[in-house]
Amino acid sequence: MTKRLIDGATRPGELRTMDKARIAKTWQQYYEDCGYGLWGFSPSPTARILAKAILDSHPRRSERVEVVDWGCGYGRDTLYFLELGFDVIGIDLSGKAIALARDAYKQRQASGVPLPGSASFHAADMRSVFESRVGQKVQAFFSNRVLHLLAEADLCDAMCEAIRHLEQGAYFCVSGRSSDDFNMALMEWIPGKEHEVARYKDPSRTGHDIAFVTKQRLLRTIGHDLEDTYCISAAEPERVGATDTHLLILLGRTPVRTPNHLSDE
């Protein structure tokens, strides 16, 4: 693929499209093979951090809070948010993941477990979902374990798209695998991208590159659009029963534009 790009047969935009298709295909297979067995239904550390921040800032919970769960998978964090009373828009490129999420939502409703929040699930890209909601913005954007799958240009595009559809003072909480996760026995650095992008040595995981997330990368990409930002390190198993992976979580809020800000413009 790299040779084709150098030769001019594949343009950068086409390469990014191919990368997205490869990622979607890889995860579609994971969900088909493992289903709910990938992580179970315990909420991620990232989801717990966002939920605490929202609940601490809305002690009376008189207003509805709508959260976008980008890369929602089969809905393990979505269901957690629903139990807390948040409304959730679940988005994932994998049709299988969304089918599982809808089924899990229906099963939870039928079980009698209270779900004060409401949910909608979309097998689509983020932009198309936002474009279908003309003029509507949300109070929180959430994404767990997705950022490390994105090349730099895709990360910038996705984060800018998310920020554009957040209300003032909205929460922004994302996570990806940190460079602490590099395992020399299992991975190797991609030449020219040492200490940034790695791939697995196992041939069965070909195409599953990891663009490790660092505090500097996150702040460079979206830090200027947020305030009260801070990064938190966390760990959770890569799969049920597997060893822990290291996550870097960023939490921040979009600025609240006061009348003084508006007059300055």
* First-to-final CA distance of the chain: 46
Give, for all 265 residues of the chain, the pLDDT tens digit: 333 333 334 343 443 554 667 777 888 888 998 889 989 999 999 999 999 999 998 766 667 899 999 999 999 999 999 999 999 999 999 999 999 999 999 999 999 888 999 999 999 999 999 999 988 999 999 999 999 988 888 899 999 999 999 999 999 999 999 999 898 998 999 999 888 899 988 887 776 789 999 999 998 898 889 999 999 999 998 888 888 889 999 999 999 977 655 445 4
Model confidence, pTM: 0.87
Here the tokens at position 148 are: 């490390």
CB 37 within 8 A of CB 240: yes
Closest CA to 174 of 94, 92, 69: 69
CB 70 within 8 A of CB 141: yes
Domain map (residue ranges) of the chain: 2-178+213-264
Supply the pLDDT for residue 7: 37
CB 141 within 8 A of CB 250: no
144, amino acid identity? N
Query: How would you classify residue 167: left for phi > 0, otherwise alpha for psi between -120 and 50, otherwise beta?
Result: beta
CATH number of 2-178+213-264: 3.40.50.150
Lateral strand order in the sheet of 166-177:
119-123, 87-92, 66-70, 138-143, 166-177, 244-253, 227-237
Supply the pLDDT for residue 243: 84
Closest CA to 254 of 150, 162, 170, 135: 170
